[in-house]
A = this chain, B = another copy of it.
């Protein structure tokens, strides 16, 4: 929970294969990246089992890190409607956790996320990643291995940090 005007924003880019996440902290005029990483789940496990694994992973982060806000990017239908539907399973888990822990949850359009980072809604993934490296120099040490899922989650978290009231 937020203490005073402290906000802990969990940014998530969910996926049944890899889910990127970030934890941004905003405290008065100070803002920083507390943590980031990813959850990789095995396609060998039953969908039901992976849903539980996803739930338990984020429940633990929310409770241990005192998350106050959850930030997501609005999803749009891709090539495979069944993959799109299953993405909804994971998003539903985040909505449930938000309600259970009384967190504010909001979705931002991809344009809003890019706008918040690069200043342009039409920026590409590389421009977003480059800008994130400038904002958080500590990310440079991971630059070779930093996954798109994680940089996307950081961008989504920053967008939440800028746009949550």
Contacts and interface: CB of A to CB of B under 8 A. Distances in A.
Interface of A: 46-49, 51-52, 55, 75-77, 81, 84-93, 95-96, 98-100, 105
22 contacts: A48-B96, A48-B99, A48-B105, A49-B99, A51-B92, A51-B99, A52-B96, A55-B96, A77-B77, A77-B81, A77-B84, A77-B85, A81-B81, A84-B85, A85-B85, A85-B88, A88-B92, A89-B89, A89-B91, A89-B92, A90-B92, A92-B92
The CB with the most chain B CB atoms within 10 A, among A46, A81, A88, A92, is that of A92
9 closest A-B pairs by beta carbon, nearest first, are A88-B88, A89-B92, A52-B99, A92-B92, A77-B81, A51-B95, A48-B99, A85-B88, A48-B95
